[in-house]
C-alpha cells in the first residue's frame, strides 16, 4: 500500500518594489534595507504591478533632485498606490504629504529600522523558517562584480551650499574591523571592484580619534591610509587583487600617503576629489579651503609618483558672487591641473543652505553660458588625454558582453579602464572579445581609438 505524500505549499511572501534615487551612498542604504527585508521573508518585485509595497529612496541635495524625487513618488503612487518614502527628502515629510497625502509612511535618511518597521506595518511578513532568503553578502542593486563600500555617515564640513549635515548629521565612522570584514565578504562573494564611499572619505576615523581595532591578529587604525593599505591586501578566490577605488576624497595632507599605494598596485590609481571651484574668493564664500595653488603643486607631485593616476572632480558654476574673472580663473586653473574626468553643475539654491542669502546672484543665462564653456574646456582636455592612450595596453574590467554578430559571429563588449568609475566616467568599447568572457573579468586590451570620453580597443591575444 502506497502512502500519499502531500506537498506543503507555503503562502506567498509579500513583495517589495524599490526605486533608489541619488548618489551611491543612497544606493548602499537601499541595499541594506532590501537585505533586511529579504531576511525577514519578503520577496523583491521588479515592477510596480507585482509589488505589495513600493519603497522610494529619495534624494534631496538640490531642488532639481527634489523634483525628481517627487516625480518618482508620484509615479509610484499612480502605478501602485502603496508607497513608503525614505531617504534624504524624508526630512521634508510635510512637503511630501501635502502633495501625496496617501503615502503610507515617510522616514529620513539612513533610518533603516524605521523604514523596515513601516514595511512590516503596511504588509506584515510571513514567517518561513525553511527557506534561506539572503545570499551571502546581502542583496545588491549593482552588478555582482562591483560593490560600494560605505565607511561612514554624515559630514563635519559646513559648506555654504550644502545641507547634507542637516540631513545626515555629523561624521560617524564605522569601526575599521567592520569595514574590512564587509569588504572581505564582498570580495569572497564575487566582487572584483570595491568603490569606497562616504561624505568625506579623507576624514574617516576623525570622530573616533582613529581608534584601532584588531584585524587578522594585528591592530589597524580607523584611518584612510591604514584602511586603504588593508583593502589592497584583499584577494579574490582565484588570488586576484580586486580594484579598490577611492571616492569623495578631500585633499587633506595625509592623502599624499595613499599615492605610493597606487604606484605599488595596492590601490586603483584614481582619486575622486570634489574641488568645487578654484577662485579663492568663491572658495571662501563656499566655506571651503582656498589653497588651490598648493593643490596644483600636490597634483604635480602625485603624477610624478604615480604617472597613471586619474583625478576626477566636480565644479559648481554660477555660485553667488562668482565674477567673470573668477570663472576665468577656474578655466585657467583647469588648464594647469589637466584633470582627467570633470563634472560640472549650475548652482541651485537649496532650501536651508546659507549660500541662498549671499549677494551677487548670477543670472540663469550666465550660469548656462559658463556651464557650456567649462564643459567644452574639460571635454577638450579629456579628448587629448584619451588620444594619448591610443596604442597602449591597459587593464580593463568587463561590464557587459554583447550578442554575437549575425554575419560574422564577432562579439563586442563594454568595459572600463582603471580611469573609469561605473556610471560617472567613460567606457572602453571592445571588439572581438571572443567566447567565454563574462562580467567582472579583468584582462588587458590594446587601445585602438578614442573620442572625448571613451576608448575603443581589442583584447590582447593570449
**Do 115 and 159 reside in the same domain of the chain?**
no
Summarize the annotated binding site as residue ranges.
23, 59, 88, 155, 159, 162
Range of the domain at 417: 393-459
**Do 88 and 157 reside in the same domain of the chain?**
no
**Do 35 and 96 reside in the same domain of the chain?**
yes
Q: What digits encode the pLDDT tens for the residues 81-128?
A: 899 999 888 878 888 889 999 999 888 776 777 888 888 888 887 765
Q: Which of 122, 138, 170 is the last residue of a domain?
A: 122
**Do 349 and 400 reside in the same domain of the chain?**
no
Summarize the annotated binding site for [4Fe-4S] cluster as residue ranges.
23, 59, 88, 155, 159, 162
- Residue 351 belongs to domain with CATH number: 3.80.30.20
Write down the pLDDT at residue 123: 87
**Do 316 and 198 reside in the same domain of the chain?**
yes
Write down the pLDDT at residue 126: 72
**Do 163 and 111 reside in the same domain of the chain?**
no
Residue 128 included in any domain = no
**Do 221 and 204 reside in the same domain of the chain?**
yes
- Residue 89 belongs to domain with CATH number: 3.40.50.12160
Residue 406 included in any domain = yes
Write down the pLDDT at residue 352: 82
Residue 127 included in any domain = no
Q: Which of 387, 418, 443 is the last residue of a domain?
A: 387
Write down the pLDDT at residue 441: 94
**Do 160 and 216 reside in the same domain of the chain?**
yes
Residue 60, sorted as left (phi over 0), alpha (psi -120 to 50) or beta, turns out to be: alpha
**Do 422 and 374 reside in the same domain of the chain?**
no
As for how many domains the chain has, the answer is 3
Q: What digits encode the pLDDT tens for the residues 232-268?
A: 999 988 888 999 999 999 988 999 999 999 999 999 9
Q: Which of 356, 387, 418 is the last residue of a domain?
A: 387
Question: 294 phi and psi, to 5 degrees?
Answer: -65, -35
- Residue 413 belongs to domain with CATH number: 2.40.50.140
Terminal-residue alpha carbon distance, the chain: 63
**Do 213 and 106 reside in the same domain of the chain?**
no
Give me the residues of the chain with pLDDT under 70, please.
1-11, 110, 127-141, 289-293, 462
Write down the pLDDT at residue 393: 97
Amino acid at each position: 500500500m502506497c502512502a500519499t505524500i502531500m506537498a506543503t505549499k507555503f503562502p506567498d511572501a509579500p513583495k517589495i518594489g524599490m526605486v533608489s534615487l541619488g548618489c551611491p551612498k543612497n544606493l548602499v542604504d537601499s541595499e541594506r534595507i532590501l537585505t533586511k527585508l529579504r531576511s525577514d521573508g519578503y520577496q523583491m518585485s521588479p515592477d510596480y504591478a507585482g509589488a505589495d509595497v513600493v519603497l522610494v529612496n529619495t534624494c534631496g541635495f538640490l531642488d532639481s533632485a527634489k523634483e525628481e524625487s517627487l516625480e518618482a513618488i508620484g509615479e509610484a503612487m499612480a502605478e501602485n498606490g502603496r508607497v513608503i518614502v525614505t531617504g534624504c527628502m524624508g526630512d521634508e515629510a510635510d512637503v511630501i504629504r501635502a502633495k501625496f497625502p496617501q503615502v503610507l509612511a515617510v522616514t529620513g535618511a539612513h533610518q533603516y529600522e524605521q523604514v523596515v518597521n513601516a514595511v512590516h506595518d503596511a504588509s506584515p511578513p510571513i514567517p518561513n523558517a525553511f527557506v534561506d532568503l539572503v545570499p551571502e553578502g546581502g542583496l545588491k542593486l549593482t552588478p555582482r562584480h562591483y560593490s560600494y563600500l560605505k565607511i561612514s555617515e554624515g559630514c563635519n564640513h559646513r559648506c555654504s551650499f550644502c545641507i547634507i549635515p542637516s540631513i545626515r548629521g555629523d561624521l560617524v565612522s564605522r569601526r575599521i574591523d567592520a569595514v574590512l570584514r564587509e569588504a572581505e565578504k564582498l570580495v569572497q562573494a564575487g566582487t572584483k571592484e570595491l568603490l569606497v564611499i562616504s561624505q568625506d572619505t579623507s576624514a574617516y576615523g576623525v570622530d573616533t580619534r582613529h581608534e584601532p581595532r584588531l584585524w587578522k591578529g594585528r591592530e589597524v587604525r580607523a584611518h584612510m591610509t591604514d584602511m586603504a593599505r588593508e583593502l589592497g591586501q584583499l584577494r579574490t578566490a582565484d588570488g586576484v587583487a580586486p580594484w579598490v577605488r577611492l571616492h569623495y576624497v578631500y585633499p587633506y595632507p595625509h592623502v599624499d600617503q595613499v599615492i605610493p599605494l597606487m604606484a605599488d598596485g595596492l590601490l586603483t590609481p584614481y582619486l575622486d576629489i570634489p574641488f568645487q571651484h578654484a577662485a579663492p574668493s568663491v572658495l571662501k564664500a563656499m566655506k571651503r579651503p582656498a589653497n588651490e595653488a598648493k593643490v596644483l603643486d600636490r597634483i604635480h607631485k602625485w603624477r610624478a609618483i604615480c604617472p597613471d593616476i586619474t583625478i576626477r572632480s566636480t565644479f559648481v558654476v554660477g555660485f553667488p558672487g562668482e565674477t567673470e574673472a573668477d570663472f576665468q580663473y577656474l578655466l585657467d586653473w583647469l588648464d594647469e591641473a589637466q584633470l582627467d574626468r570633470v563634472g560640472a553643475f549650475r548652482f541651485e539654491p537649496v532650501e536651508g543652505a546659507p549660500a541662498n542669502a549671499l549677494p551677487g546672484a548670477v543670472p540663469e543665462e550666465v550660469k548656462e553660458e559658463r556651464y557650456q564653456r567649462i564643459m567644452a574646456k574639460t571635454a577638450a582636455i579629456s579628448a587629448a588625454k584619451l588620444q594619448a592612450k591610443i596604442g597602449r595596453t591597459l587593464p580593463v574590467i568587463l561590464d557587459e558582453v554583447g550578442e554575437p554578430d549575425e554575419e560574422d559571429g564577432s562579439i563586442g563588449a563594454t568595459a572600463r579602464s582603471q580611469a573609469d568609475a561605473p556610471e560617472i566616467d567613460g567606457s572602453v568599447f571592445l571588439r572581438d572579445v571572443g567566447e567565454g568572457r563574462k562580467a567582472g573579468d579583468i584582462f588587458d586590451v590594446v587601445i585602438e581609438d578614442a573620442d572625448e570620453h571613451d576608448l575603443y580597443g581589442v583584447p590582447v591575444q593570449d
